[in-house]
Amino acid sequence: MKRVFLLTALAVGSIGISNAQYKPAAGERTLEVNFAPLGGTPVSIGGIKYRSFSSETTAFRVGVFLGFSNTTKVTQDENSQTQMLELKEKNGSTTISLQPGIEKHFAGTERLSPYIGGVLNIGYGMTSKKEESQQGTSVGTTTTKGGSLDLGLNAVAGFDYYVAEKLYLGTEIGFGVGMTSDLTNKVSYDNIPGAQDSESKKDNQSKFNIGPNVVGQLRLGWVF
């Protein structure tokens, strides 16, 4: 009798495993991060992506990236004997990217979900450079602010492989067009006699690209 119960339990368990739902169903959502395991900084996160499945084969997606960078270096040491003041140079940047899109998924296998789709890329970058200079016994500051605007449209193809229920790895390639345009540079001065604030487009560039693009990153995501 005990043997019958044991065999029945094993059969029920095997049916449950074989019927496990790996791929998202209609109404489910995914959240994923991109990371570069073969890059110079493998733990760096290259963005976050959210998807909402309206059906088992259609998903709406949006990718978001927000990055900050700040560096400071000393350009002149303080020396009381020569009346030299300590001077610094500070550089900062901010990058914001938003990538809405849509995906069409195909049958694949029980764990593999290949897809194609379209993605719009909207990016904005800001830069700031603050340089200190000695003005007699005080410090003057020159601040230069600039930036760039990115627009693009890509056709993408990729796949999700479900290594476990609700957990997947994937990758993606694309082909599309992109445009980058530098914004007007604004220069302001503080405590520098005779200097006047100004704006300039000198050396600004606009770039247009068309071709394939490969993201050298893996996608790790989960379904909820």
The domains of the chain are located at: 22-223
Tokens of 26: 């209609």
Q: How far apart are CA 177 and CA 211, in angstroms?
A: 7
Report the alpha-carbon angle 109-45-220, nearest 5.
15
Quote the pLDDT of residue 47.
82
Smallest Cα–Cα separation from 37: which of 218, 203, 224, 220?
A: 218
Quote the pLDDT of residue 113.
97
Q: Per CATH, which fold does 22-223 belong to?
A: Porin (2.40.160)
Cβ-based neighbour number of residue 24 at 10 Å: 24
Quote the pLDDT of residue 44.
55
Quote the pLDDT of residue 19.
52
Instruction: Report yes or no: 159 and 118 within 8 Å, Cβ to Cβ.
Output: no
Taking only the tens of pLDDT, the chain with its 224 residues reads 445 444 444 443 444 444 567 899 999 999 999 877 665 555 556 789 999 999 999 999 999 999 999 999 999 999 999 999 999 999 999 999 999 999 999 999 999 999 999 999 999 999 999 999 999 999 999 999 999 999 999 999 999 999 999 999 999 999 999 999 999 999 999 999 999 999 999 889 999 999 997 766 789 999 99
Q: Tell how many helices (H) and how many strands (E) occur in the chain.
A: 1, 11
DSSP string, 114-146: EEEEEEEEEEEEEEEEEEEEEETTEEEEEEEEE
Quote the pLDDT of residue 37.
67
Q: What's the full length of the chain, in residues?
A: 224
Quote the pLDDT of residue 34.
84
pTM for this predicted structure: 0.80
Q: How far apart are CA 114 and CA 170, in angstroms?
A: 9
List the beta bridge partners of residue 121. Answer: 152
